[in-house]
Amino acid sequence: MKKILIIDIETTGFSSVNDLIIEVGATEIDFEKKEFKIVFDQAILHDSKYDQQIKSSWIAENSNILENYYERAKPKKEVLHQLQDLLYQYPDGATAFNNQFDFRFLITEGIIFPKKLACLMILSTNLCKFPHAVAGRKGYKWPKVEEAFKHLFPDSDYVEQHRGADDSYHEAKIAFKLYELGILKI
């Protein structure tokens, strides 16, 4: 029974050393049943000294992530322990839309990935074939989640929410399509 995990994190910035993970979402893909199930949706509670960093971050200004954030968040150690336990339940592996970004943050926090699968963003690049915005750059630009989703599912009205669970769910659909096309190998 092939099942993998798609992970998405939301952070206060781009530095895995200076910025904070504030939300983690994960969706399971069951390839035999062709089913997608959100299996992890958790906000991470940080010390109050980080409140301003969280509240003034891009993600806070461009999503509804702070809605009920403090009521539902759990301590970082607890969330990361639960996530690590979850990763061990998926021997076929885990991936993310931007492995380099998401996995770097999680590895910095001590998360171990028993089996990493190929990056969905990289796998989508040559399929989507979006030109670079900068003239003269060779190859294609890396698509954003919403761009890749709309390319693969053109009748969709999907708008990226920038929320861990919702993003991981849509990324799982991208992963499944890449698998069906023979691009994602499990």
Is 90 exceeded by the pLDDT of residue 4? yes
State residue 88's pLDDT score: 98
b/e map 129-166, b = 16+ CB within 10 Å: ebeeeeeeeeeeebbbbbbbbbbbeeeeeeebbbbbbb
Q: Which amino acid is at 86?
A: L
Q: Which of 112, 147, 108 is nearest to 127 (CA)?
A: 147
Q: What is the mean pLDDT of the chain?
A: 96
Question: Pick from 82, 76, 86: which is nearest to 108 by CA?
Answer: 76
Give the residue-averaged pLDDT of 48-62: 95
- How much is the average pLDDT of 58-82? 96
Count of residues in the chain: 186
Distance from C-alpha of 103 to C-alpha of 168, rounded to nearest angstrom: 14
Domains and CATH numbers, the chain: 3-180 (3.30.420.10)
d(CA 20, CA 3): 29
pLDDT digit string, tens, across residues 138-147: 889 999 999 9
> So what's the pLDDT on residue 103?
98
